[in-house]
Amino acid sequence: MQVLVTGGAGFIGSHIADLLAARGHSVRLLDVLLPAAHGPGGAPDYLGDHELVIGDVRDPDVLRPALSDVDVVCHQAAMVGLEAGMTDMPDYVAHNDLGTAHLLTAMTEAGIGRLVLAGSMVVYGEGRYLCPAHGVVRPGPRTTDDLERGVFEPRCPTCDGLLEPGTVPEDAPVDPRNTYATTKLTQEHLAAVWARNTGGSAVSLRYHNVYGPRMPRNTPYAGVASLFRSALARGEAPRIFEDGAQRRDFVHVRDIAAANLAAMRRDQPGFAAYNICSGQPRTIGDMATALADAANGPAPITTGDYRLGDVRHIVADPSRAADELGFRAEIGFAEGMREFGTAALRA
C-alpha cells in the first residue's frame, strides 16, 4: 500500500510513517514545516529515510505529484491547539479547512478513494454530563462568575445544579467551543461530502489527549502534556489550571499510529467517526504528578486559574473503534508517562 501522510514530519504524522514503514508499506510525507510546529530548524532529524515533499497542502501544484500512485491519504496536517486569540482565526480556517478542501479536490482528480482524517475530541465541546434530576443534559459554557469563585463543574441548564461527567459516544451532539474545534468539525463535514459524492471511504479518528516522544516544546498552541513536560525540562513545576480535577483520556502517540493503520484497512464507502482513546480516564492533576515523578522534578502547583475556551471534562467511549476497527490502546498510563517524563521534546 502506498500512503501519503500529510503533516508527516510532525509529532503524530512521523509516528504513523514509522509504523507504516515497519509494516512494509510505502510512505510519502507532505509537510509545509510550519515554524509554529517545527521551529526555525526545518525538517526534524527523526524522519530517517522517509520520502519528504516540502510544500503546502493548499497548493495544487504540490498535491498533484505528492498524490502520484497513492492508495490512501492519511491527513494529519493542521494548525493545532487552542488559539491564542481571535486574530488566529483566519490561519486556522486557511490551514485546516481550506487545506482539506484542496486535498479532497486533488484526491478526486487523482482517483484516490480512501481518506483517514486526524479528527479530535474537541468537536464534542463540554462532553457528556448527567444531572441527578434531569438525566443526560448538554450544559452551556461555564460562566465567568462561577470560574472566578472556583466553581468549575458545569451546571444543568434546567435546574442549575452541578453535573456529573459521563462518557461520550460518537453519536453525541457536537458542540465546538473554539476556533480550532470548529475547524476540526468542518474538516469532518468536508470529508463526509467528499465521500458521499465520490463513493469514497472517509474515516475521522477523534483523537483524545495525545502525548509521547517528539511532542513540540512549549508553544502557545501546545497541548497540556507538552506544557507540563516543557516546564519540567526547565526545572519548573507544572502549573495546573482550575483545581486539577479535570478528567481527560490520555492516549500514547504509538497507539494513535496503530489506530490510523487500523482505519486504513477500512474500505466501506461513506463517512465514519471513531473515538481514539485509552478508555481509562485520568485527571490533569494525575498527569502532572506522574510526569513530575518520572522526571524527578518539582511537584505541580494548582493555580486556580482558568481559560474561557477550556472544557471541564471530556471522556470518551472507545467501544466503536474496538468493534469496527479492531483498535484497542495498548500502552497504559503509568508506562506511557514514565517514558514521556524523560523523552526528548522537539525544539
Q: For 152-169, how does the pLDDT look when each residue is reduced to its tens digit (9 = 90+)?
A: 999 999 999 999 999 999
What is the structure's pLDDT at 223? 76
Domain contains 347: no
Angle between helix 284-294 and helix 224-233 axes, rounded to 10 deg = 30
The lowest-confidence range among 208-212, 274-278, 285-289 is 208-212
Mean pLDDT for 91-96 is 94
260 pLDDT tier (thresholds 50, 70, 90): very high
What is the structure's pLDDT at 151? 97
Residues 31-88 pLDDT 10s:
998 776 666 567 888 998 999 999 999 999 999 999 999 999 999 999 876 666 778 8
The top-scoring range by mean pLDDT among 25-39, 82-96, 213-227, 261-275 is 261-275
Residue whose C-alpha is closest to residue 327's, from 279, 292, 293, 276: 276
How far, in Å, are 93, 105, 212 from residue 254 at the CA level? 28, 30, 8
Domain contains 17: yes
Q: Please tell me the distance from the alpha carbon of residue 1 to that of residue 9, in angstroms, as a whole number.
A: 20
CATH number, residue 190: 3.40.50.720
How far, in Å, are 30, 258, 333 from residue 251 at the CA level? 25, 11, 8
What is the structure's pLDDT at 261? 98
* pLDDT at residue 219 greater than cutoff 70: no
125 pLDDT tier (thresholds 50, 70, 90): confident
Mean pLDDT for 112-141 is 93
Which own/partner contact pairs does 301-304 have at CB distance under 8 Å and 24+ positions apart?
Answer: 301/237, 301/238, 301/239, 301/240, 302/240, 302/242, 302/243, 302/244, 303/239, 303/240, 303/241, 304/150, 304/241, 304/242, 304/243
Instruction: Kindly state the percentage of the chain with pLDDT values over 90.
Output: 80
Domain contains 13: yes
Domain contains 136: no
Mean pLDDT for 298-326 is 93
What is the structure's pLDDT at 217? 77
Query: Which residue range forms the structural domain that includes residue 40?
Result: 2-127+168-342
Higher pLDDT pick, 28 / 267:
28
Domain contains 323: yes
Domain contains 152: no
Mean pLDDT for 171-177 is 89
- The mean pLDDT value of the chain amounts to 93
- What CA dihedral angle connects 77, 80, 83 and 86, to 10 degrees? 20
* Domains identified in the chain, total number: 1
Amino acid symbol at 75 = H
Domain contains 157: no
* pLDDT at residue 1 greater than cutoff 70: yes
222 pLDDT tier (thresholds 50, 70, 90): low
**Which residues have C-beta within 8 Å of that of residue 36, sequence separation ≥ 6?**
79, 219, 221
Higher pLDDT pick, 12 / 87:
12
* pLDDT at residue 176 greater than cutoff 60: yes
Domain contains 163: no
C-alpha cell at 102: 484542496
Q: Quick check: helix, strand or coil at residue 239?
A: strand
Residue whose C-alpha is closest to residue 261's, from 315, 208, 210, 205: 205
What is the structure's pLDDT at 159? 97
